[in-house]
Structure 1
Amino acid sequence: MKSQHLLIVLIAFLLFNCKQDAWQLHRIQGAQININDTLQPDADIEAFIKPYREHVNRDLDSMLSYAPETYSKSDGEFNTAIGNLFADAVYEQSNPVFLKRTGKNIDMVLLNHGGIRAIISKGPVTARTAFEIMPFENSIVVVGIKGSQVNELVKYLSKAKRAHPISKLHVVLNKDYEILEADISGVVIDTSKTYYVATNDYLYSGGDHMTFFQPEESLDVLDYKIRNALLDYFKTKDTINPVIDNRFIKLNK
Structure 2
Amino acid sequence: MDTSIVADSSIITYYAPYKAKLETEMNRVIGYADHYITRNRNAPESLMGNFFADALLWKGKQLDPDVQASFATKDGIRADLHAGNVTVGNIFEVMPFENAVCILTLSGGDMLRLADYMVKTGGQPVGGMELVIENGKAKEFLIQGKPIAPDALYKLVTYDYLANGGDYITFFDNPIARKDYNQLLRETLMEYVSDLAKQEKHVQVKLDGRVQIIK
TM-score range, shorter-chain basis?
A: over 0.9
CA contact (8 A) 1:75 1:81 kept: no
Does the 8 Å CA contact 2:42/2:122 hold for their aligned counterparts? Answer: no
Corresponding residue number in structure 2 for 1:92: 58
Query: Counterpart of 1:209?
Result: 168
Would you say 1:62 and 2:25 are equivalent positions? Answer: no
CA distance in structure 2 between the partners assigned to 1:140 and 1:229 by the alignment: 8
The runs of 5 or more residues in structure 2 that have no matched partner are: none
SS of the equivalent of 1:149 reads helix
Deviations for 1:99-139, whole angstroms, at most 9, x for unmatched residues? 3xxxxx11111111111111111221011111111000011
Distance in 2 of aligned mates of 1:147 and 1:39: 63
SS in 2 for 1:237: helix
Q: Is 1:179 aligned to residue 138 of structure 2?
A: yes
Partner of 2:119: 158
Counterpart secondary structure, 1:190: coil
Secondary structure of 1:121's counterpart equals coil
Residue 251 of structure 1 corresponds to which residue in structure 2? 214
Return the offset for 1:39.
4.5
> Of residues 21, 29, 37 in structure 2, which corresponds to 1:71?
37
Structure 2 residue matching 1:135: 3-state secondary structure: coil
1:138 paired residue number: 99
For 1:216 and 1:202, how far apart are their aligned partners in 2? 15
- Percent identity, aligned pairs only, is 25
Deviations for 1:162-208, whole angstroms, at most 9, x for unmatched residues?
4x21000100112x222111010101101011111111111111111
Aligned with 1:131: secondary structure?
helix
**Contact map agreement 2:60 2:103 (CA 8 A) in 1:** no
d(CA) in 1 for partners of 2:3 and 2:214? Answer: 53
Q: Which has the higher strand share?
A: 2
Alpha-carbon shift at residue 76 of structure 1 (Å): 6.4
Of residues 132, 148, 151, the one that matches 1:189 is 148
Query: Does 2:127 match 1:167?
Result: yes
Which structure 1 segments of 5+ residues have no match? Answer: 1-33, 100-104
The 4+ residue runs of structure 1 with deviation greater than 4 A are 36-39
TM-score, with length taken from structure 2: 0.92
Cα distance in 1 for partners of 2:57, 2:211 equals 17
- CA RMSD, Structure 1 to Structure 2 (Å): 1.6
Between the aligned partners of 1:181 and 1:38, the Cα distance in structure 2 is 66
Distance 1:120 1:183, change over 3 A: same
Q: Residues 129 and 39 from structure 1, CA distance in 2 versus in 1: closer, same or farther, beyond 3 angstroms? A: farther
Which amino acid counterpart does residue 47 of structure 1 have in structure 2? T
CA offset at residue 41 of structure 1?
2.5
Number of equivalenced pairs: 211
- Paired residue for 2:49? 83
Change (3 A) 1:247 1:39: farther
